[in-house]
Structure 1
Amino acid sequence: MSDNSAGPTAEPITPSAPEEFGLVQVWWGDGKGKTTAALGMATRAVGHGYRVHLLQFMKGGTGTVEDVRGEYNAIAALPGFSYENAGHYGWHGFMDGSDDDEHAARAQGALSRAREILDASADADLSEPLDADGPPEDGVNMLVLDEILYAANRGLVDPEDVVSLIENKPDDVELVLTGGHDSPEYVFEHADLVTEVGKIKHPLESGHSARKGTEY
Protein backbone atom coordinates (compact mmCIF):
# COMPACT_ATOMS: atom_id res chain seq x y z
CA MET A 1 0.00 0.00 0.00
CA SER A 2 1.34 3.43 -0.91
CA ASP A 3 2.18 5.97 1.77
CA ASN A 4 -0.08 8.98 1.34
CA SER A 5 1.19 10.78 4.43
CA ALA A 6 2.90 13.36 2.22
CA GLY A 7 -0.25 13.94 0.20
CA PRO A 8 -1.21 12.83 -3.31
CA THR A 9 1.53 12.55 -5.91
CA ALA A 10 1.39 12.76 -9.68
CA GLU A 11 2.12 9.66 -11.71
CA PRO A 12 3.22 9.42 -15.35
CA ILE A 13 0.32 9.35 -17.79
CA THR A 14 0.20 6.14 -19.78
CA PRO A 15 -2.54 5.21 -22.26
CA SER A 16 -5.28 3.18 -20.64
CA ALA A 17 -8.79 1.94 -21.47
CA PRO A 18 -11.65 3.06 -19.20
CA GLU A 19 -13.76 0.28 -17.74
CA GLU A 20 -16.94 2.23 -17.01
CA PHE A 21 -17.33 4.87 -19.72
CA GLY A 22 -20.45 5.11 -21.84
CA LEU A 23 -22.77 7.61 -20.15
CA VAL A 24 -24.22 10.82 -21.57
CA GLN A 25 -23.71 14.05 -19.63
CA VAL A 26 -25.51 17.35 -20.18
CA TRP A 27 -24.41 20.73 -18.79
CA TRP A 28 -26.72 23.64 -19.57
CA GLY A 29 -28.00 26.89 -18.04
CA ASP A 30 -27.51 30.64 -17.96
CA GLY A 31 -24.56 30.53 -15.55
CA LYS A 32 -20.85 30.64 -16.26
CA GLY A 33 -18.96 27.35 -15.92
CA LYS A 34 -20.47 24.79 -18.31
CA THR A 35 -17.44 24.51 -20.57
CA THR A 36 -15.14 24.94 -17.59
CA ALA A 37 -16.73 21.96 -15.85
CA ALA A 38 -16.53 19.82 -18.97
CA LEU A 39 -12.88 20.70 -19.50
CA GLY A 40 -12.09 19.91 -15.90
CA MET A 41 -13.65 16.48 -16.22
CA ALA A 42 -11.87 15.91 -19.53
CA THR A 43 -8.57 16.77 -17.86
CA ARG A 44 -9.31 14.21 -15.16
CA ALA A 45 -9.95 11.56 -17.83
CA VAL A 46 -6.73 12.43 -19.64
CA GLY A 47 -4.86 12.10 -16.36
CA HIS A 48 -5.92 8.46 -16.27
CA GLY A 49 -4.59 7.91 -19.79
CA TYR A 50 -7.93 8.02 -21.62
CA ARG A 51 -8.29 9.59 -25.08
CA VAL A 52 -10.42 12.75 -25.11
CA HIS A 53 -11.47 15.08 -27.91
CA LEU A 54 -13.12 18.50 -27.58
CA LEU A 55 -15.24 19.69 -30.50
CA GLN A 56 -16.55 23.24 -30.12
CA PHE A 57 -19.66 24.33 -32.00
CA MET A 58 -20.15 27.97 -31.02
CA LYS A 59 -17.02 29.38 -29.40
CA GLY A 60 -16.78 32.14 -31.94
CA GLY A 61 -15.78 35.10 -29.80
CA THR A 62 -13.59 37.58 -31.65
CA GLY A 63 -10.22 37.33 -33.31
CA THR A 64 -8.60 39.13 -30.38
CA VAL A 65 -9.95 36.57 -27.91
CA GLU A 66 -10.45 33.34 -29.81
CA ASP A 67 -6.88 33.10 -31.08
CA VAL A 68 -5.40 33.22 -27.58
CA ARG A 69 -7.70 30.96 -25.57
CA GLY A 70 -5.69 29.54 -22.69
CA GLU A 71 -7.37 26.15 -22.76
CA TYR A 72 -5.99 25.43 -26.23
CA ASN A 73 -2.43 25.85 -24.99
CA ALA A 74 -3.12 23.62 -22.00
CA ILE A 75 -4.82 20.93 -24.10
CA ALA A 76 -1.94 20.89 -26.58
CA ALA A 77 0.44 20.18 -23.69
CA LEU A 78 -1.54 17.18 -22.42
CA PRO A 79 -1.08 13.72 -23.95
CA GLY A 80 -4.31 12.19 -25.18
CA PHE A 81 -6.26 15.45 -25.34
CA SER A 82 -7.11 17.15 -28.65
CA TYR A 83 -9.49 19.88 -29.78
CA GLU A 84 -10.96 21.60 -32.76
CA ASN A 85 -13.12 24.69 -33.06
CA ALA A 86 -15.78 24.70 -35.76
CA GLY A 87 -17.31 28.00 -34.65
CA HIS A 88 -17.49 31.18 -36.69
CA TYR A 89 -16.12 34.46 -35.31
CA GLY A 90 -18.84 36.54 -33.70
CA TRP A 91 -22.12 35.24 -32.26
CA HIS A 92 -25.20 34.09 -34.15
CA GLY A 93 -28.13 36.48 -33.91
CA PHE A 94 -26.24 39.20 -32.03
CA MET A 95 -26.11 41.74 -34.89
CA ASP A 96 -22.32 41.89 -34.53
CA GLY A 97 -21.59 41.94 -38.24
CA SER A 98 -20.95 38.21 -38.51
CA ASP A 99 -22.76 36.14 -41.11
CA ASP A 100 -25.57 34.11 -39.56
CA ASP A 101 -25.63 31.76 -42.55
CA GLU A 102 -21.95 31.05 -41.96
CA HIS A 103 -22.70 30.29 -38.30
CA ALA A 104 -25.29 27.73 -39.43
CA ALA A 105 -22.92 26.19 -41.98
CA ARG A 106 -20.16 25.86 -39.39
CA ALA A 107 -22.55 24.27 -36.88
CA GLN A 108 -23.73 21.75 -39.46
CA GLY A 109 -20.11 20.97 -40.26
CA ALA A 110 -19.43 20.35 -36.57
CA LEU A 111 -22.43 18.01 -36.41
CA SER A 112 -21.04 15.99 -39.33
CA ARG A 113 -17.64 15.95 -37.66
CA ALA A 114 -19.18 14.63 -34.43
CA ARG A 115 -20.82 11.80 -36.37
CA GLU A 116 -17.49 11.02 -38.04
CA ILE A 117 -15.65 10.75 -34.72
CA LEU A 118 -18.37 8.63 -33.12
CA ASP A 119 -18.48 6.31 -36.15
CA ALA A 120 -14.69 5.96 -36.00
CA SER A 121 -14.90 5.16 -32.31
CA ALA A 122 -17.49 2.48 -33.05
CA ASP A 123 -14.99 0.84 -35.40
CA ALA A 124 -12.12 1.08 -32.89
CA ASP A 125 -11.34 -1.45 -30.16
CA LEU A 126 -11.99 0.73 -27.13
CA SER A 127 -11.23 -2.14 -24.77
CA GLU A 128 -7.57 -1.49 -25.56
CA PRO A 129 -5.66 1.74 -24.82
CA LEU A 130 -5.74 4.30 -27.61
CA ASP A 131 -2.62 6.03 -28.88
CA ALA A 132 -2.37 9.35 -27.04
CA ASP A 133 -0.91 10.98 -30.15
CA GLY A 134 -3.36 9.39 -32.55
CA PRO A 135 -6.00 11.48 -34.35
CA PRO A 136 -9.63 11.38 -33.15
CA GLU A 137 -10.40 9.45 -36.33
CA ASP A 138 -8.72 6.50 -34.62
CA GLY A 139 -11.36 6.62 -31.89
CA VAL A 140 -11.84 8.40 -28.56
CA ASN A 141 -12.98 7.41 -25.09
CA MET A 142 -14.65 10.75 -24.33
CA LEU A 143 -16.11 13.27 -26.76
CA VAL A 144 -17.03 16.74 -25.50
CA LEU A 145 -19.43 18.58 -27.82
CA ASP A 146 -19.10 22.08 -26.44
CA GLU A 147 -21.98 24.52 -27.12
CA ILE A 148 -23.91 21.97 -29.19
CA LEU A 149 -27.00 22.66 -27.07
CA TYR A 150 -26.65 26.39 -27.73
CA ALA A 151 -26.49 25.64 -31.46
CA ALA A 152 -29.65 23.53 -31.15
CA ASN A 153 -31.45 26.21 -29.11
CA ARG A 154 -30.72 28.74 -31.85
CA GLY A 155 -31.84 26.46 -34.69
CA LEU A 156 -28.37 26.03 -36.17
CA VAL A 157 -28.69 22.27 -35.74
CA ASP A 158 -31.86 20.23 -35.37
CA PRO A 159 -32.47 18.96 -31.81
CA GLU A 160 -33.45 15.64 -33.34
CA ASP A 161 -29.96 15.38 -34.82
CA VAL A 162 -28.54 15.85 -31.33
CA VAL A 163 -30.75 13.03 -30.07
CA SER A 164 -29.60 10.89 -33.01
CA LEU A 165 -25.97 11.42 -32.00
CA ILE A 166 -26.79 10.09 -28.54
CA GLU A 167 -28.79 7.14 -29.81
CA ASN A 168 -26.10 6.06 -32.25
CA LYS A 169 -22.99 6.62 -30.16
CA PRO A 170 -20.84 3.60 -29.25
CA ASP A 171 -21.82 2.08 -25.92
CA ASP A 172 -18.42 2.69 -24.36
CA VAL A 173 -17.88 6.33 -25.39
CA GLU A 174 -18.59 8.98 -22.76
CA LEU A 175 -20.49 11.79 -24.49
CA VAL A 176 -20.60 15.27 -22.94
CA LEU A 177 -22.94 17.98 -24.25
CA THR A 178 -22.78 21.59 -23.09
CA GLY A 179 -24.36 24.96 -23.75
CA GLY A 180 -27.64 26.78 -24.02
CA HIS A 181 -29.72 28.97 -21.76
CA ASP A 182 -32.98 27.27 -22.76
CA SER A 183 -33.85 23.95 -21.18
CA PRO A 184 -32.84 21.15 -23.62
CA GLU A 185 -35.66 18.87 -22.57
CA TYR A 186 -35.34 16.88 -25.78
CA VAL A 187 -32.18 15.22 -24.41
CA PHE A 188 -33.23 14.72 -20.81
CA GLU A 189 -34.62 11.20 -21.23
CA HIS A 190 -31.51 10.19 -23.16
CA ALA A 191 -28.98 11.58 -20.68
CA ASP A 192 -27.57 9.95 -17.57
CA LEU A 193 -26.47 13.21 -15.91
CA VAL A 194 -28.13 16.59 -16.37
CA THR A 195 -26.72 19.64 -14.59
CA GLU A 196 -28.25 23.12 -14.77
CA VAL A 197 -25.70 25.86 -14.17
CA GLY A 198 -27.66 28.84 -12.85
CA LYS A 199 -26.50 32.43 -12.72
CA ILE A 200 -26.83 34.27 -9.42
CA LYS A 201 -24.39 37.06 -10.25
CA HIS A 202 -21.96 37.71 -13.11
CA PRO A 203 -19.13 40.28 -13.35
CA LEU A 204 -20.31 41.32 -16.82
CA GLU A 205 -23.32 42.88 -15.12
CA SER A 206 -21.05 45.24 -13.19
CA GLY A 207 -19.05 46.29 -16.22
CA HIS A 208 -16.25 43.72 -16.27
CA SER A 209 -15.31 42.46 -19.73
CA ALA A 210 -14.10 38.94 -20.46
CA ARG A 211 -10.78 38.44 -18.66
CA LYS A 212 -7.74 36.58 -19.89
CA GLY A 213 -7.26 33.48 -17.77
CA THR A 214 -10.86 33.24 -16.55
CA GLU A 215 -13.12 33.61 -19.61
CA TYR A 216 -10.56 32.85 -22.33
Structure 2
Amino acid sequence: MGIQITPSILNADLAALGAEVGRIPSADWVHVDVMDNHFVPNLTLGLPVIESLKAHTDLPIDAHLMIEDPDRWAPAYAEAGCGSVTFHVEAAKAPVRLAREIRNQGARASMGLKPATPIEPYEDLLGELDMLLIMTVEPGFGGQKFLDLCLPKIRRARAMMDRHGVQTWLQIDGGISLDTIERCVEAGADVFVAGSAVYSASDPDAMVADLRARAESATP
Protein backbone atom coordinates (compact mmCIF):
# COMPACT_ATOMS: atom_id res chain seq x y z
CA MET A 1 0.00 0.00 0.00
CA GLY A 2 1.49 3.32 -1.06
CA ILE A 3 0.66 6.92 -0.30
CA GLN A 4 -3.06 7.74 -0.16
CA ILE A 5 -4.59 11.21 -0.38
CA THR A 6 -7.99 11.70 1.21
CA PRO A 7 -9.50 15.17 0.66
CA SER A 8 -11.85 16.40 3.36
CA ILE A 9 -15.06 17.96 2.11
CA LEU A 10 -15.32 20.07 5.27
CA ASN A 11 -13.80 22.93 3.26
CA ALA A 12 -15.81 22.25 0.10
CA ASP A 13 -19.03 23.97 -0.97
CA LEU A 14 -21.48 22.04 1.18
CA ALA A 15 -24.40 23.17 -0.99
CA ALA A 16 -22.97 21.27 -3.96
CA LEU A 17 -21.23 18.24 -2.49
CA GLY A 18 -21.82 16.00 -5.49
CA ALA A 19 -20.12 18.48 -7.81
CA GLU A 20 -17.36 19.18 -5.29
CA VAL A 21 -16.46 15.50 -5.00
CA GLY A 22 -16.44 15.39 -8.79
CA ARG A 23 -13.52 17.86 -8.69
CA ILE A 24 -11.19 15.30 -7.04
CA PRO A 25 -11.39 12.21 -9.28
CA SER A 26 -7.82 11.11 -8.57
CA ALA A 27 -8.31 11.03 -4.79
CA ASP A 28 -8.12 7.69 -3.02
CA TRP A 29 -10.97 8.41 -0.61
CA VAL A 30 -13.46 11.14 0.26
CA HIS A 31 -13.03 12.16 3.89
CA VAL A 32 -16.27 13.18 5.62
CA ASP A 33 -16.04 14.87 9.03
CA VAL A 34 -19.04 14.10 11.22
CA MET A 35 -19.26 16.41 14.25
CA ASP A 36 -22.00 16.58 16.86
CA ASN A 37 -21.22 19.86 18.70
CA HIS A 38 -20.59 17.81 21.86
CA PHE A 39 -17.35 15.88 21.38
CA VAL A 40 -16.06 18.85 19.36
CA PRO A 41 -17.39 22.44 19.23
CA ASN A 42 -18.82 22.23 15.73
CA LEU A 43 -21.84 20.70 14.00
CA THR A 44 -21.49 19.26 10.50
CA LEU A 45 -22.76 16.45 8.32
CA GLY A 46 -24.45 13.26 9.38
CA LEU A 47 -25.59 9.91 8.09
CA PRO A 48 -28.32 11.15 5.69
CA VAL A 49 -25.82 13.36 3.84
CA ILE A 50 -23.35 10.50 3.52
CA GLU A 51 -26.06 8.22 2.18
CA SER A 52 -26.96 10.87 -0.39
CA LEU A 53 -23.33 11.55 -1.29
CA LYS A 54 -22.71 7.90 -2.08
CA ALA A 55 -25.09 8.22 -5.04
CA HIS A 56 -22.85 10.90 -6.56
CA THR A 57 -19.40 9.31 -6.37
CA ASP A 58 -17.62 6.03 -6.91
CA LEU A 59 -14.86 7.03 -4.50
CA PRO A 60 -14.97 5.19 -1.17
CA ILE A 61 -16.04 7.26 1.81
CA ASP A 62 -13.80 7.67 4.84
CA ALA A 63 -16.09 8.71 7.70
CA HIS A 64 -14.39 10.46 10.62
CA LEU A 65 -16.77 10.46 13.58
CA MET A 66 -15.99 13.23 16.04
CA ILE A 67 -19.01 12.40 18.14
CA GLU A 68 -20.02 11.22 21.57
CA ASP A 69 -21.21 7.62 21.94
CA PRO A 70 -19.59 6.18 18.79
CA ASP A 71 -20.30 2.72 20.22
CA ARG A 72 -23.93 3.38 19.37
CA TRP A 73 -23.62 5.30 16.10
CA ALA A 74 -20.47 4.14 14.28
CA PRO A 75 -21.78 0.76 13.05
CA ALA A 76 -24.58 2.54 11.16
CA TYR A 77 -22.00 4.38 9.05
CA ALA A 78 -20.38 1.08 8.12
CA GLU A 79 -23.79 -0.40 7.36
CA ALA A 80 -24.54 2.60 5.13
CA GLY A 81 -21.59 1.69 2.94
CA CYS A 82 -18.69 3.79 4.19
CA GLY A 83 -15.44 2.11 3.26
CA SER A 84 -13.73 3.23 6.46
CA VAL A 85 -15.15 4.42 9.77
CA THR A 86 -13.04 6.23 12.36
CA PHE A 87 -14.16 6.54 15.97
CA HIS A 88 -12.27 8.47 18.63
CA VAL A 89 -10.80 6.45 21.46
CA GLU A 90 -11.49 9.36 23.83
CA ALA A 91 -15.22 8.82 23.27
CA ALA A 92 -15.47 5.05 22.82
CA LYS A 93 -16.46 2.92 25.79
CA ALA A 94 -15.43 -0.43 24.25
CA PRO A 95 -13.01 0.25 21.39
CA VAL A 96 -12.14 -3.37 20.64
CA ARG A 97 -15.76 -4.43 20.45
CA LEU A 98 -16.57 -1.39 18.33
CA ALA A 99 -13.71 -2.01 15.90
CA ARG A 100 -14.86 -5.60 15.46
CA GLU A 101 -18.44 -4.52 14.89
CA ILE A 102 -17.37 -2.01 12.22
CA ARG A 103 -15.36 -4.74 10.50
CA ASN A 104 -18.32 -7.13 10.70
CA GLN A 105 -20.37 -4.54 8.81
CA GLY A 106 -17.81 -4.65 6.00
CA ALA A 107 -15.89 -1.42 6.63
CA ARG A 108 -12.32 -0.77 7.66
CA ALA A 109 -12.10 0.01 11.38
CA SER A 110 -10.09 3.08 12.35
CA MET A 111 -9.35 4.68 15.70
CA GLY A 112 -8.60 8.38 16.10
CA LEU A 113 -6.45 10.14 18.69
CA LYS A 114 -6.49 13.84 19.56
CA PRO A 115 -3.10 15.61 19.66
CA ALA A 116 -2.70 15.24 23.43
CA THR A 117 -3.80 11.58 23.56
CA PRO A 118 -0.79 9.25 23.86
CA ILE A 119 -0.50 6.19 21.65
CA GLU A 120 1.22 3.94 24.20
CA PRO A 121 -1.89 2.80 26.15
CA TYR A 122 -3.40 1.47 22.92
CA GLU A 123 -0.45 -0.48 21.55
CA ASP A 124 -2.21 -3.81 22.10
CA LEU A 125 -5.21 -2.61 20.06
CA LEU A 126 -3.26 -2.08 16.83
CA GLY A 127 -4.01 -5.59 15.60
CA GLU A 128 -7.73 -4.85 15.88
CA LEU A 129 -7.49 -1.81 13.61
CA ASP A 130 -7.22 -1.29 9.88
CA MET A 131 -6.12 2.31 10.38
CA LEU A 132 -4.91 4.60 13.15
CA LEU A 133 -5.67 8.32 12.79
CA ILE A 134 -3.43 10.81 14.55
CA MET A 135 -4.86 14.32 14.66
CA THR A 136 -2.29 17.06 14.08
CA VAL A 137 -4.71 19.85 15.00
CA GLU A 138 -7.38 20.02 17.67
CA PRO A 139 -10.47 18.48 16.03
CA GLY A 140 -13.45 20.66 15.25
CA PHE A 141 -12.52 23.12 12.53
CA GLY A 142 -10.64 23.10 9.24
CA GLY A 143 -7.84 25.44 8.26
CA GLN A 144 -5.80 25.12 11.47
CA LYS A 145 -2.01 25.19 11.61
CA PHE A 146 -0.17 21.85 11.70
CA LEU A 147 1.13 20.90 15.17
CA ASP A 148 4.74 19.77 14.85
CA LEU A 149 4.60 18.47 18.41
CA CYS A 150 2.65 15.47 17.05
CA LEU A 151 5.54 14.23 14.89
CA PRO A 152 7.20 12.21 17.69
CA LYS A 153 3.89 10.45 18.32
CA ILE A 154 3.64 9.56 14.63
CA ARG A 155 7.14 8.07 14.81
CA ARG A 156 6.29 6.09 17.93
CA ALA A 157 3.09 4.78 16.35
CA ARG A 158 4.96 3.62 13.25
CA ALA A 159 7.61 1.94 15.41
CA MET A 160 4.89 0.06 17.29
CA MET A 161 3.27 -1.07 14.06
CA ASP A 162 6.60 -2.32 12.74
CA ARG A 163 7.36 -4.08 16.01
CA HIS A 164 4.04 -5.95 15.94
CA GLY A 165 4.16 -6.61 12.20
CA VAL A 166 0.65 -5.24 11.62
CA GLN A 167 -0.59 -3.85 8.31
CA THR A 168 -2.42 -0.95 9.95
CA TRP A 169 -2.50 2.26 7.92
CA LEU A 170 -1.33 5.43 9.66
CA GLN A 171 -3.48 8.44 8.75
CA ILE A 172 -2.72 12.08 9.56
CA ASP A 173 -5.41 14.76 9.67
CA GLY A 174 -4.85 18.46 10.33
CA GLY A 175 -2.87 21.13 8.55
CA ILE A 176 -1.69 18.84 5.78
CA SER A 177 -0.27 20.83 2.87
CA LEU A 178 2.65 20.86 0.47
CA ASP A 179 4.67 22.39 3.32
CA THR A 180 3.90 19.71 5.93
CA ILE A 181 3.23 16.41 4.18
CA GLU A 182 6.90 15.44 3.78
CA ARG A 183 7.52 15.66 7.53
CA CYS A 184 4.64 13.27 8.14
CA VAL A 185 5.87 10.80 5.54
CA GLU A 186 9.34 10.85 7.06
CA ALA A 187 7.76 10.16 10.47
CA GLY A 188 6.00 7.08 9.07
CA ALA A 189 2.52 8.13 7.92
CA ASP A 190 1.00 6.90 4.65
CA VAL A 191 -2.59 8.23 4.50
CA PHE A 192 -3.23 11.98 4.45
CA VAL A 193 -6.38 14.04 4.97
CA ALA A 194 -6.19 17.45 3.28
CA GLY A 195 -9.10 19.84 3.37
CA SER A 196 -8.29 23.51 2.95
CA ALA A 197 -5.14 22.75 0.93
CA VAL A 198 -7.23 20.92 -1.68
CA TYR A 199 -10.41 22.96 -1.80
CA SER A 200 -8.72 26.36 -1.62
CA ALA A 201 -6.71 25.47 -4.74
CA SER A 202 -7.92 26.65 -8.13
CA ASP A 203 -7.70 23.04 -9.32
CA PRO A 204 -8.40 20.67 -6.41
CA ASP A 205 -7.47 17.54 -8.34
CA ALA A 206 -4.13 19.04 -9.39
CA MET A 207 -3.45 19.70 -5.71
CA VAL A 208 -4.26 16.06 -4.93
CA ALA A 209 -1.63 15.08 -7.51
CA ASP A 210 0.89 17.58 -6.12
CA LEU A 211 0.39 16.32 -2.57
CA ARG A 212 0.81 12.73 -3.71
CA ALA A 213 4.00 13.57 -5.62
CA ARG A 214 5.45 15.50 -2.68
CA ALA A 215 4.68 12.61 -0.31
CA GLU A 216 6.06 9.97 -2.65
CA SER A 217 9.27 11.94 -3.05
CA ALA A 218 9.77 11.74 0.72
CA THR A 219 8.97 8.02 1.00
CA PRO A 220 12.01 6.00 2.12
TM-score (norm 1): 0.37
Answer 1 or 2: higher relative contact order, Cα 8 Å, separation at least 6: 1
From the two aligned structures, give the one with the greater strand fraction.
2
Greater helix share, 1 or 2? 2
What is the TM-score of this pair, normalised by structure 2? 0.36
Which structure has the bigger radius of gyration? 1
